[in-house]
């Protein structure tokens, strides 16, 4: 059974070391690598190249730019042993090929183990629903610390 996203679960999925408030590279691939490296540095990725290949393959399938300035690159891969989420934001935006043509300014990365299809969908859908609210997006733009980002996400999914 898939766990719901709770406050404890947000802190486990996206601890503060997975959150960067510095602007990422403007190129999509470089931005994906930037977020991936946050997870590598936090020892959440066992094989960086395999994880990168999975993320890029997913990008080839269909856009992960969901609109409203949001990008959510994501993949299931054996390169990770536990579900993880990374976050960054970009003032200029990164082109994730969103249907509305808007560059992504709030960018989340989701990586889950190959066997975690249910959890992958649960995290993706819960996060997507939360980000549809203007207030949540505004608070993420205004967040001053990684802890603020965690608090916004916790409140948004409550």
Q: Are strands 84-94 and 19-20 parallel, antiparallel or unpaired?
A: parallel
Q: Are strands 65-67 and 70-71 parallel, antiparallel or unpaired?
A: antiparallel
Percent of the chain residues topping a pLDDT of 70? 95
Q: What is the pLDDT of residue 2?
A: 40
Domains and CATH numbers, the chain: 7-156 (3.40.930.10)
pLDDT tens-digit readout, 14-23? 999 999 999 9
Q: What is the pLDDT of residue 6?
A: 56
DSSP string covering 87-112: EEEEEEEE----TT-PPEEEEEEEEE
Q: What is the pLDDT of residue 131?
A: 96
Tokens, residue 6: 């709770």
Q: Which residues are catalytic?
A: 74
Tokens, residue 85: 């989420």
pLDDT tens-digit readout, 32-75? 999 999 999 999 999 999 999 999 999 999 999 999 999 999 99
């Amino acid at each position: 059974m898939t766990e719901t996203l709770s406050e404890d679960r947000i802190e486990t999925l996206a601890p503060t070391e997975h959150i960067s408030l510095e602007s990422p590279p403007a190129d999509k691939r470089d931005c994906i690598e930037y977020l991936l490296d946050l997870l590598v540095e936090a020892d959440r990725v066992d094989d960086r190249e395999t994880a990168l290949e999975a993320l890029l393959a997913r990008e080839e399938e269909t856009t992960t730019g969901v609109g409203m300035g949001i990008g959510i690159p994501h993949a299931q891969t054996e390169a990770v042993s536990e579900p993880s989420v990374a976050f960054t934001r970009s003032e200029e935006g990164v082109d994730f090929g969103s249907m509305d043509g808007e560059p992504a300014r709030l960018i989340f990365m989701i990586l889950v183990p190959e066997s975690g299809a249910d959890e992958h969908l649960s995290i993706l859908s819960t996060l997507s629903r939360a980000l549809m609210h203007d207030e949540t997006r505004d608070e993420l733009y205004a967040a001053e610390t990684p802890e603020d980002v965690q608090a916004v996400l916790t409140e948004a999914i409550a």
